[in-house]
A and B are shown apart, each in its own frame.
Chain A
Amino acid sequence: MPTDVEEWKDEIYGTDIRAHMERFAEEGWEAIPEDEHDAWFERFKWYGLYHQRAGQESYFMMRIGPANGVLEPGQLRTIGEIAKEYSTGPAENPEFGNGWADVTTRQAVQLHWIEIEDVPAIWDELEANGLSTLQACGDSWRNIVGCPVAGKDKNEHVDALDTIHELHDTFKGNEDHVNLPRKWKVSVTGCHEGCGQGDINDLALEPAEKEIDGETVEGFNVRVGGGLARNEPRFAKNVDVFVTPEQAADVAGGLSALFRDHGDRENRYNARIKFLVDEWGPEKVRETLQEEYVDFEMYAAGEDKRDQYSYNAGVDHGHADHVGVHEQKDGNYYVGLNVLVGRIGADEVIELADLADEYGSGEARLTQRQNIILTDVPEENLDALLAEPLLEEYSPDPHPFQRGSIACTGTEFCSLSIVETKNRQVRFSRWLKENVDLPDDVQDFHIHLSGCTASCAQPQIADISLRGMKTRKDGEPVEALDIGLGGGLGENPNFADWVTERVPADEVPGAIQNLVQNYDELRDDGETFREFVVDRDEEELAELVEPEETDYEDPYMHNTKKTWYPYAEDDDMDASPAPNAADESPTPADD
């Protein structure tokens, strides 16, 4: 039997949703019939609106998906202005204030506290500036990711941007592909550092070359079925197909159609294409694709570049991220700025847009490590840009613990979360910076914190993997984290092993401190952390992680999900101002 979600999608989905959303906006929150909430909120996702968690009814997260994270001149400013005007909530966040934007691990932007009444005005402003929320969530083509400096990078093999734009233009809003069984995440990489993180996407196009009629042709190898969620992580599997850039859209569309027709629509937990690849094997995926969906003969896989991958790979060469000042192939520079846990104040987004205009071309790019890059800075502007006060906070040369920190949304807004994430990760990184000495030669140390097993912060591919859990401490249930080690991408990607589970959150910094100390003492000369971990078995590693209380203080040990907002003065569920009726300003219920 098809699920309710499938029935709702059958009734109304895709671009037909928009007129309804505009009507609800016009008439106000109350106009969404209560007995249709579930159906409408499921559909809203297709247009990039995700209902926030219990206690925050009527407020939405809005996701904006610029292909490959490329923000054309002016677009960063648009995002800042929209965040400033529409993305403030009824309470402040103690680390971030009120009014900010989140840069995501899929090169998108998330705004919170959005109300349905404001959505048409936001769309107008976004669309006037070439941005969109279309298919940012929901069961279809999500934001396409890739190397964030595609087209600029010196290490590029093919310029993936043309292909990314072609896929984006072909499949966003495409009637034949609007309604897939589940999300469809695509990565297209052109550089040989592996920055597209193709391995963890449903569909990955990776740089490759192939001898065709005696000539070497540049293009992509195809992998299918990666993803991290639900304790079922998979790396995408090689389906033995090489595509030229001209063939990319036909083959990608063929795979999306194959998923549309053969994916499981009866069980959403079994719907991602990774499960179909499990069931069929890559050979049958290829066969079916060739027989039913692609009308030219596909090439067998070409020669890939995976042995050169360095991105998030735990190796001591290449680049592990895009932070810092780097020369572009045109002689200008890009300057990658660290945005701790991806969150940046609305005013600061606008200031950054000013800097992009003043010193660069106005363009900015978003990375899968939740950072922002300003591109096209001529050499003579570098010193002045680097001297700007804003770059003290959003630094091109941050401490490794801040540079390496990623955190998902967590209990602040997310309905699936188990623990608080972003504020905690900010506090972790601050404490680690003050108290833990990394070996001098270690510049990159990735710590990813996800609030649950959905793995939005990609915890399984970090040096230290943190995942939300609970445990008991001094008799009381408290927020805890599972600690995993050994994950990373590269030629031979690994998922972390969860070596020490249910560590009370306030003992995690101590655990990291002890682990880093043990690494420093026991490592071979020049051994990277990843190499060190891969060399040891789980038991040995578990002994190197010694959870311990320190002077780190964690204000979020209680059940933050049970609050209406974890940082509100009166955080009790009953004190929630939600739902916020259309024409009232928020009034706390305890007034």
Chain B
Amino acid sequence: MTVPVRTLDDGAWISVNNARAVSNSDIWPLASYDFCDCDVAHVLCESFFDVSVHRDTIAVGAVGQCIDCGSQDTIDALPVGRVIDGEFRAFEPGALQAVNEPQS
């Protein structure tokens, strides 16, 4: 069964299963994804423009800016959590999670 996912309030947050799941304005550290020249890009997620489900992983399209160097870009599929037994489990945005990072 697929879970309903959507972006709402002009990209302020992601709804998974009709509940607020992930909010904008968090900082996501990205080590392997090529966002900017910083070793680890600390990307402030300004807003979401897309959300998708890949098997059990929820990924967002986001507009972001590195808080250290100021590079601005979009990320097409940033994994933000998983659906396990119908329940959404958010990844901790503050934690490095190289395994989950989108392919560059």
A255 within 8 A of B: no
As a 0/1 sequence over residues 387 to 418 of chain A, the CB contacts with chain B under 8 angstroms (1 = contact) are: 00000000000000000000000010011111
Contacts of A561 in B (CB 8 A): 23, 25
B18/A4 in contact, CB under 8 A? no
Contacts of A4 in B (CB 8 A): 4, 6
Cα-based distance from A477 to B11 in the complex (angstroms)? 22
With A416-B47, A453-B46, A477-B42 as known contacts, state yes or no: A502 contacts B18, CB within 8 Å.
no
B68 within 8 A of A: yes
With A54-B23, A477-B27 as known contacts, state yes or no: A472 contacts B9, CB within 8 Å.
no
Cα-based distance from A416 to B11 in the complex (angstroms)? 7
A553 within 8 A of B: no
Cα-based distance from A418 to B19 in the complex (angstroms)? 21
B15/A472 in contact, CB under 8 A? no
Partner of B8, one of A42, A418, A453: A42
Total interface residues in chain A, CB < 8 Å: 34
Residue in A closest to B24 when the chains form the complex, CB atoms: A416
Residue in A closest to B45 when the chains form the complex, CB atoms: A418
Instruction: Give residues of chain A (20-34) contacting chain B, Cβ–Cβ below 8 Å.
Output: 34
A471/B67 in contact, CB under 8 A? yes
Cα-based distance from A54 to B13 in the complex (angstroms)? 9
The dominant DSSP class at the A interface is mixed
B25/A417 in contact, CB under 8 A? yes
As a 0/1 sequence over residues 13 to 29 of chain B, the CB contacts with chain A under 8 angstroms (1 = contact) are: 10101111001110100
Residue in B closest to A33 when the chains form the complex, CB atoms: B18
B8/A269 in contact, CB under 8 A? no
A505 within 8 A of B: no
With A34-B18, A54-B23, A472-B42 as known contacts, state yes or no: A501 contacts B70, CB within 8 Å.
yes
Residue in B closest to A415 when the chains form the complex, CB atoms: B12
Instruction: Give residues of chain B (31-72) contacting chain A, Cβ–Cβ below 8 Å.
Output: 42, 44, 46-47, 49, 65, 67-68, 70
A416/B12 in contact, CB under 8 A? yes
Cα-based distance from A30 to B1 in the complex (angstroms)? 26
Cα-based distance from A37 to B42 in the complex (angstroms)? 32
A37/B18 in contact, CB under 8 A? yes
Contacts of A34 in B (CB 8 A): 18-19
A38, A417, A472, A561, most chain B CB atoms within 10 A: A38
B10 within 8 A of A: yes
B27/A415 in contact, CB under 8 A? no
Residue in A closest to B9 when the chains form the complex, CB atoms: A415
B10/A454 in contact, CB under 8 A? yes
Partner of A268, one of B4, B10, B17: B10
Chain B interfacial positions (CB closer than 8 Å to A): 4, 6, 8-13, 15, 17-20, 23-25, 27, 42, 44, 46-47, 49, 65, 67-68, 70
Given contacts A54-B20, A416-B47, A452-B25, 12 further A-B contacts (CB under 8 A): A38-B6, A38-B8, A269-B10, A411-B25, A414-B12, A415-B24, A416-B9, A416-B10, A416-B11, A453-B46, A477-B67, A561-B23
Name 11 interchain pairs, CB-CB below 8 A, sorted by A.
A3-B6, A5-B8, A37-B18, A38-B8, A53-B23, A269-B11, A415-B12, A416-B12, A418-B44, A501-B70, A502-B70
